[in-house]
Amino acid sequence: MLKLNNLNLIGQWLKAGWPRIKRDPSVRTRHLAVTIFLISLVALALTSFNTARYLNGEIRSRGEAVETLFLDQLSGITQEAIFAKPVTDPKISIAVDESVRALIKASTTEGSDLAYCAIIALDGQVLAISDEKNTLQDRSNIKPFNELLHSRWYSQLWELYRENSVYEITILFRMGKDPFARLVVGIPAERFRSRLTPTLKLSLIFSLIVITFAILMALTSSTLVLWPLREVMESIEQLEAEIALNSDTRHPETLDMQSMTQRLRELGRRFAGNRTEVEAIRDQLQQVVGSLSERVLLLNREQRVMMASPEAERLLGRARGPLTGQYLTQILPQNNPLCQMTTRAYRSGRSQQQVLTLPASGDEINGPQRVVASLQLFTDRGQPAGALLTLRDFETLQQLENQLDFATKLAALNRITAGVAHEVKNPLHAMVLHLELLSGKLEAGLDPKAHVDILTTEVTRLKRVVQTFLDFTRPVEVNLDQIDANELVREVVELSADARAQGIDIVEHYWSEPLLIKVDHDLLKQALLNIVINGCQVMPNGGRLTLKTARDNGAVLISITDEGPGIPLEIREKIFNLYFTTKPSGSGIGLAQAFRAVQLHNGQIQIVSPPDRGASLLITLPIG
């Protein structure tokens, strides 16, 4: 048989190549990174400029609105109050005037931009005030408006969004040239934020849209700009892929930072060493194929014979020289079964195995021969790159199968005798012990009846063990009839009806069509019944027992699954041994008989469940 290392040599020779070189970041990646950075920088600068302009304008407009309030309304009303009472102190005239109080109060109503508004004399006397939140009582949170107005835009933004401060504007009242009172107005930071936030969000969204659009344009432009360079690099990569050892691994679709000169130099070095390596591999393969005792042909992608073992040359009736280098259709006629099978394999792209009868090759020695032809395809990027064609003698394979079948039967016999040896050993040990005790009592003149009774019991037990073994190993006459596996399982379920009274829920799943098998009806039914009884016994508190029939790959499948504690891995190879049991009252015969019955029908029985969750036994029988 071919060894694994021989197949590896063949695969290497058919798909010879070199490892790929290490890659650096692509030109396109660097181009995009620089473009995106510059665009983001410009967008950030424009956003910052727009934010500074709008922020400064909004703050300045709030201050101008307060000055308008003073110049257009409050200044005129206070002068009228003073002129109405020229003899009275101006401060008193303003303090008692209802129009002044009403205007001051109206300036801080709900929806106004002012937190408070007050007229305060220079000596600190409050002449008129509107301060619903008592902001003036704690001046720790009050800052001068001019300080905010003349700050940098980022400082203004930081102050407005960091704290809830109140910014105060002060305007003096004068009588002639001398001031006698001042107007103080507080504008809270949240008023600025409520007006700034929508505009700032819109500006940010617009900047993101611009950046996104610019990135898309950069991607498009980079593809167009780098397209000629990409074509050159793809041509180089195609050359590298054609000589690569692992041709299934593709190069990423990027442009390498490595210069084309260095890449081409590397390709030249690879081509220089490639021929030497391929010749060395070919010499090794010729030695391997030449020493093979099997009939082996090595074909390339055009179905040309590249190498042939001596036995293959003898089978085809040609000398070794003319065989190598010729097409398979030149060696054999096109209607030859071997040529037809090879053509089908190459067209379908799948390996094939078939029993063929090769006609006489024209040699007087070789007549028509039945062979098992196995063609193993080697693929390269999904296409056939070559094939290994092995021709084995059909009769020789049949002999090997018979030997394997005989070995299987010996293993089954060993499985049975292992249990018998265990059962025989126990009574023999007891008999030896009591014979020694009996000899001692006879010499002492004591009554030996007790030991004689025990010996009689053990002899009877040994006889039962031997009789069971003889019954088990006695050739069974198998009466084969064609029956439906579904009906057979239904009969077993009917015989197990009393299990439902013990809390066992029997679930049945049958194949939609009849499953015809050629078996001994009574023998196989008893085997299935033994397995069902065993599954019910491992569920003393009730549970579900599932029986299922199916068809797969020309075989009938019968599975029986319980919800018991499962079968540990360490005893799985023993459960079909005669007399092996894990139950205190078990006989160890039921599963052994089931195993033998399935084998008599050229079937298989195996455990297909996890070791710690229930047990599932799968019986496979050939279709009758």
pLDDT digits (tens, 9 = 90+) for 223-236: 676 676 667 667 76
> Distance (Å, rounded) from C-alpha 546 to C-alpha 561?
5
Angle at 498 between CA 497 and CA 501, to 5 degrees: 115
3-class SS at 357?
Answer: strand
- Name residues whose C-beta falls within 8 Å of residue 32's C-beta, 6 or more positions apart in sequence: 215, 218, 219, 222
* Assigned token pair, 243: 């000589």
Class of residue 200 by CB neighbours under 10 A (exposed 0-12, middle 13-18, buried 19+): middle
Class of residue 371 by CB neighbours under 10 A (exposed 0-12, middle 13-18, buried 19+): buried
Ordered structural domains, the chain, with CATH: 4-21+228-278 (no CATH), 29-209 (3.30.450), 294-396 (3.30.450.20), 398-473 (1.10.287), 481-622 (3.30.565.10)
More confident residue, 18 or 185: 185
pLDDT of residue 20: 41
Quick one: pLDDT band at residue 419, thresholds 50, 70, 90?
A: low
Full 3-state SS string of 250-319: CCCCCCCCCCHHHHHHHHHHHHHHHHHHHHHHHHHHHHHHHCCCCEEEEEECCCEEEEECHHHHHHHCCC
> Distance (Å, rounded) from C-alpha 527 to C-alpha 436?
43
Class of residue 14 by CB neighbours under 10 A (exposed 0-12, middle 13-18, buried 19+): buried
> Distance (Å, rounded) from C-alpha 513 to C-alpha 519?
18
pLDDT of residue 17: 40
> Distance (Å, rounded) from C-alpha 149 to C-alpha 474?
112
pLDDT of residue 249: 42
Least confident interval from 75-84, 260-269, 561-570: 260-269
pLDDT of residue 168: 86
Q: Is the pLDDT of residue 7 over 90?
A: no
| Maximum separation of any 2 CA atoms in the chain, in Å | 158
Mean pLDDT for the stretch of residues 565-569: 82
Q: Is the pLDDT of residue 536 over 70?
A: yes
Average pLDDT value over all residues in the chain: 75
At residue 266, what is the residue type? E
Closest CA to 13 of 236, 336, 362, 283: 283
pLDDT of residue 417: 65
> Distance (Å, rounded) from C-alpha 277 to C-alpha 285?
12
Q: Is the pLDDT of residue 320 over 60?
A: no
| pTM metric for this prediction | 0.36
- Name residues whose C-beta falls within 8 Å of residue 129's C-beta, 6 or more positions apart in sequence: 104, 116, 117, 118, 119, 120, 136
Q: Is the pLDDT of residue 161 over 60?
A: yes
> Does residue 393 contact residue 293 with C-beta atoms inside 8 Å?
no
Model confidence over 284-302: pLDDT tens digits? 666 666 666 677 777 888 8
> Does residue 549 contact residue 617 with C-beta atoms inside 8 Å?
no
Query: With the C-alpha atoms ordered 34, 35, 39, 45, is the resulting torsion angle positive or negative?
Result: positive
pLDDT of residue 402: 67
Least confident interval from 10-19, 98-107, 170-179, 516-525: 10-19
Percentage of the chain exceeding pLDDT 70:
72
Quick one: pLDDT band at residue 32, thresholds 50, 70, 90?
A: confident
First-residue to last-residue Cα distance in the chain: 34
Model confidence over 99-112: pLDDT tens digits? 878 888 887 787 77
